[in-house]
Structure 1
Amino acid sequence: MPGVSSEALGSKPIGKLLIQQAVPASIGILVMSLNILVDTIFVGNWIGPIAIAAINVVLPVSFFIAALGMAIGIGGSSIISRALGATQKDKALKTFGNQITLTLLVTCSMVGLGLLFVDSLIPAFGGKGGIFEPAKIYYTIVLYGVPFLALCMMGNTVIRAEGKPRFAMIAMIIPSVGNLVMDYLFIYVFDWGMEGAAWATTGGYLLCFGYIFWFFLSPNSELKINWHHFGLNRYLLKEIGGLGFVTLSRQAVTSVTYLLMNNILFELGGEAMVAVYAIIGRMLMFALFPVFGVTQGFLPIAGYNYGAHKYDRVKESIYTAIKYAALVATIVFVILMVFPGEIAGLFLSDNPDLGPEALATNAFVLEHTPSAMRWVFAATPIIALQLIGAAYFQAIGKAIPALILTLTRQGFFFIPLILILPGYFGELGVWISFTIADVLATVVTGYYLKREIHRELKMSL
């Protein structure tokens, strides 16, 4: 696979460049999302619906620690993209070295704390009743692999910052395929149950780390760091932290959302209602993969051209990314509105060997999931503006507006809504909160993005 120079980000036509960046990103996210989706289907069919709920309880904790790596990755990659655009190679190398050191220090510390407080964290995130034991088994094993996942997520964003989207795509595909193969072996063949699901997930993280480690040692990478690049630099740490805090805040709010949702839904309908949300959560990860792919492809293009002072190309990249993302989001919306029942049925089994209690839970989940899914995805066609707008400010290094817009949907709107509306509308109040929050956040993001384009980009042309 031939290498691609980072200079192409500042010279190729924006539409063609965005497709070249977004398609590999979308494929990578698709495979990763399919992995999560099929993994959930395997667990639901081979272990049972309570196992799905148990994994959903664990995800916020493990994802938050992994998000530390992503936050450091995106924060540093914004610096790297702009440094490469401004031909400041040494700054890019020093930034990458600092990213690695910081990721190891932070994530290993967090894993230690996560293992120390395991019995308190799981119930806090909704792991109550019959969910607790399988959740604890899964959590303990997966947490050991989370530092490798954090390094993978950090490294993946750096690969994109170099303008190497195909390598970043492969880095996402390898662990996903490996995880599914190990799922089959560990759960179905060896009958290891929750332990098998956990070891398959951890094994996928290790495969991903191995590939990314190889990439940066190979001739394909422009970033050849030495030992002195690992020494922490407080100015770079401040910039990495400021930009990375945007991503970290997003994941922190997501983890709080899971905590609240799991507890609210457990009170409304017990373990079965948590399983409904687990399926909805998987679809939120999976169905929007092309929109997230466009967003990932947009980041290095905007960052590089902003660093190179090519503001006309920055503006063009914004409009093109919104147009492409809105198109694919609308297609996703139509599919989900037409086939919600069929999608929900994929996660459930009518195998009598599961037992009457599990079958009753499956029936409840199948009855409640379709209407919930329609409400959750009702505003999907307009979320492109919300995602691209927030990503733009992060790409150009403006941490404060990026942080505000990132927190707008879940922090400012969604969390207050799910605390208020279920008291009046019950289960329906939970699901309509998604739609209302999406609409309000899109309006706010659109206003700030329009103002930024008018004040900064037009004036700079």
Structure 2
Amino acid sequence: MGQTEQEQDGIQREEYSGSENGNDNKEFLRTEPLGKLLLKLALPTVAAQLINMLYNIVDRIYIGHIPEIGATALTGVGVCMPLIMIVSAFAALVGYGGAPRASIFMGKHDKETAEKILGNCFTLQIMISVVLTAVLLIWNRDFLMAFGASENTIEYGVNYMNIYALGTIFVEVTLGMNAFITAQGFAKTGMLSVLIGAVANIILDPVFIFGLDMDVRGAALATIISQALSCIWVVSFLGGKKTFLKIRKKNLGLTSKIILPCLALGVATFIMQASESVISVCFNSSLQKYGGDIAVGAMTILTSVMQFAMLPLQGLGQGAQPIISYCYGAKDTNRVRGAFKLLLKVSLGYSILLWILVMLFPGGFAAMFTSDAQLMEYTKTALRIYMAAMLLFGIQMACQMTFNALGKAMESIVVAVMRKFILLIPLIYILPHILTSDQTMAVYLAEPVADVLAVTFTAVLFSIQFKKTLKNVETA
């Protein structure tokens, strides 16, 4: 390394520590008190997840209150969710696979490899965006019909997706690359990445939907403009002077030994998010069969509330990820244990609190998304059933996110596949044949039954593998 680059790296380390973390180097991930550090990193990431959720939820809130067509339009846009989840899942495949590995190499003081990971992931994210855009523009109508759209709702779905597809590259780069900002400890900057877009979306939605009378097309246009603003912010930061890991031209060429381990680790998160798309199709097709459009419309609201539950848990995990990954790379196993225990306590506390609120006030959650009295009443009952096991989900997410932070690709994949494909999808089709008195509600019941079984499996697997992994580090 030349003298100039050494000086630049010194400047970057100083800016990295001074901008947000207040320490003289990146060892703050090993030296600050865990409670204070998790709070510092998790609050912005949780806020970022909640803000990010506004992109789709604010759209649905506004769409659901469009005079005369609100309920039908909401159902049509709800059927788009599997496609939107697929786009997000590909961003997670690259970003949430690469970011923990970059943190681990930072813990090993191997900045060169960490930056290669960043550059490779950026290039792959662009390539994936181009392919997804073409697929969504060409086949979105076919996908939507297969995903449960009816003749009454299909045009709303198509109108939304035709515009949303054009902004795929902004969604991919924003979500995928923002993970690298958070992974370096720049939690506040990561939060600002999504805050910029979310505020723009909240402002633009009513202008386009009601002011310009564009209905669902206005919601889609507001979303892609907002994501474009976030994308500009993320790329500017990762190419600027304040970041520790920087996007450099020399690292943009794809290298198999760099990118393949990232993809292997990201597969679990990809499955977790992409399977939501498959599961949404299964739910919608089954609900359309037993309950018609109102049951599918209710599912749109249930999915939104579940996002409200899940995203803060993911934010907590992302806040803990830099600590766990960095300390694991530095072989500080006691701190890894402490960080996981704290993550588990906070995650479980949150999931129990939200479960209580849903059980006590289901109507309040439903009213956020619809003013239709019939749909609201129907959703209240469905929501209590669908979220019945939510109180346990803090355990699931804490274990799953820690597997990812430790770079344990296989265990992460097993946990994701077990909950979604082995348990939930079969239950969606089996339970209506067992509980024949109310087959529609039996479909919703598949979610809590699968959750209880999945949490049990995950907790047992994690307790075994976590001890084994840390023991191997200590004896190495």
Please name the residue that 1:170 is paired with: 192
1:245 aligned residue:
267
Deviates more, 1:335-344 or 1:29-38: 29-38
Instruction: Please list the CA deviations of residues 248-306 of structure 1 after superposition, one character each: whole Å capped at 9, or x if unmatched.
Output: 22222111101111111111222221110000111111234432221121222111111
CA shift, 1:39, in A, is 2.3
What percentage of residue pairs aligned between the two structures are identical? 29
- How far does residue 346 in structure 1 lie from its aligned partner after superposition? 2.6
2:438 aligned with 1:416, yes or no?
no
1:437 corresponds to which residue? Answer: 450
Match of 1:121 in 2: 143
The match for 1:380 is: 390
Q: Which moved more, 1:287-296 or 1:308-317?
A: 287-296
Structure-2 separation of matches of 1:174 and 1:190: 23
Shift in alpha-carbon separation, 1:257–1:65, aligned structure 2, 3 A: same
Which of 324, 346, 352 aligns to 2:346? It is: 324
Contact 1:337 1:374 in 2 (8 A): yes
TM-score by length of 1: 0.94
Q: Distance in 1 between matches of 2:418 and 2:269?
A: 13
1:212-227 alignment runs, 5 A limit: 212-227=234-249
Q: Which SS does the other structure have where 1:2 is aligned? A: helix
- Offset, 1:2: 2.2
After TM superposition, the structure 1 stretch with the greater mean CA deviation from structure 2, 384-393 or 92-101, is 384-393
Q: Is the 8 A contact 1:62 1:146 kept in 2?
A: no
CA spacing shift, 1:12–1:240, aligned 2, 3 Å: same
- Tell me the C-alpha RMSD between the 2 structures: 1.6
Whether 1:448 and 2:458 are equivalent positions in the alignment is: no
Residue 79 of structure 2 aligns to a residue in which SS?
helix
Partner-residue secondary structure (3-state), 2:35? helix
List aligned pairs for 1:115-264, cutoff 5 A: 115-264=137-286
Aligned match for 1:403, one of 413, 422, 426: 413
Aligned to 1:7: 27
Distance 2:309 2:458 in 1: 22
Give the 3-state SS of the residue equivalent to 1:348 in structure 2: coil
Residues 42 and 319 of structure 2 are in contact (CA less than 8 Å); yes or no, is this contact kept in structure 1?
Answer: yes
Match in the other structure for 1:371:
381
C-alpha distance after superposition, 1:313-363 (max 9, x if no partner): 1111111100011111111111111110122123223xxxxxxxxxxxx33
Distance apart, 1:101 and its partner CA: 0.7
Cα distance in 2 for residues equivalent to 1:227 and 1:460: 35
Contact preservation (8 Å) 1:50, 1:272 = no
* Alignment CA distance shift 1:21-1:342 (3 Å): same
Q: Secondary structure at the match of 2:148?
A: coil
Equivalent residue number for residue 110 of structure 2: 88
- Structure 1 residue 164: deviation in Å? 0.5
1:392 alignment partner AA: T
CA distance in 2, matches of 1:194, 1:113: 21
Q: Does 2:75 correspond to 1:75?
A: no
Question: Which amino acid is 1:434 matched to?
Answer: E
Indicate whether 1:41 and 2:51 are aligned.
no
Q: CA deviation at 1:167?
A: 0.5
27-36 vs 162-171, which deviates more? 27-36
Give the aligned partner of residue 368 of structure 2: 346
Q: Is the 8 A contact 2:89 2:271 kept in 1?
A: no
Q: What secondary structure does 2:20 align onto?
A: coil
After TM superposition, list the pairs within 5 Å mapping 1:303-314 onto structure 2: 303-314=325-336
Unaligned runs of 5+ in 2: 1-17
Q: Partners of 1:368 and 1:178 in 2: how far apart?
A: 33
Tell me: CA distance 1:118–1:290, structure 2 relative to 1, closer, same or farther (3 Å): closer
Q: Which amino acid is the alignment partner of residue 226 of structure 2?
A: G
1:17, distance to aligned residue in structure 2 (A): 1.3
Deviates more, 1:199-208 or 1:113-122: 113-122
Hey, what's the Cα distance between the residues in 2 that align with 1:66 and 1:345?
27
Q: Are 1:66 and 1:107, in contact at CA under 8 Å, matched by a contact in 2?
A: no
Letter in 2 for 1:94: K
The total of aligned residue pairs comes to: 449
Q: TM-score, normalised by structure 2?
A: 0.91
- Is the alpha carbon distance of 1:412 and 1:160 closer, same or farther for their aligned partners in structure 2, counting shifts above 3 Å? same
Is 1:390 aligned to 2:390, yes or no? no
Structure 1 pair 246–26 and aligned structure 2 pair: CA distance change class (3 A): same
Does the CA contact (< 8 Å) of 1:376 and 1:432 recur in 2?
yes
- The 3-state SS of whatever aligns with 2:243 is coil
Unaligned segments of structure 1, at least 5 residues: 350-361
C-alpha spacing 1:208/1:142, structure 2 compared with 1 (3 Å): same
Name the SS of the counterpart of 1:130 in structure 2. Answer: coil
Q: How does 1:277-292 map to 2 (within 5 A)?
A: 277-292=299-314
State the distance in 2 between where 1:249 and 1:288 align: 15
Q: Tell me, in whole angstroms, the C-alpha distance in 1 between the residues paired with 2:141 and 2:62.
A: 27
Q: 2 CA distance for matches of 1:164 and 1:374?
A: 37
1:414, distance to aligned residue in structure 2 (A): 0.8
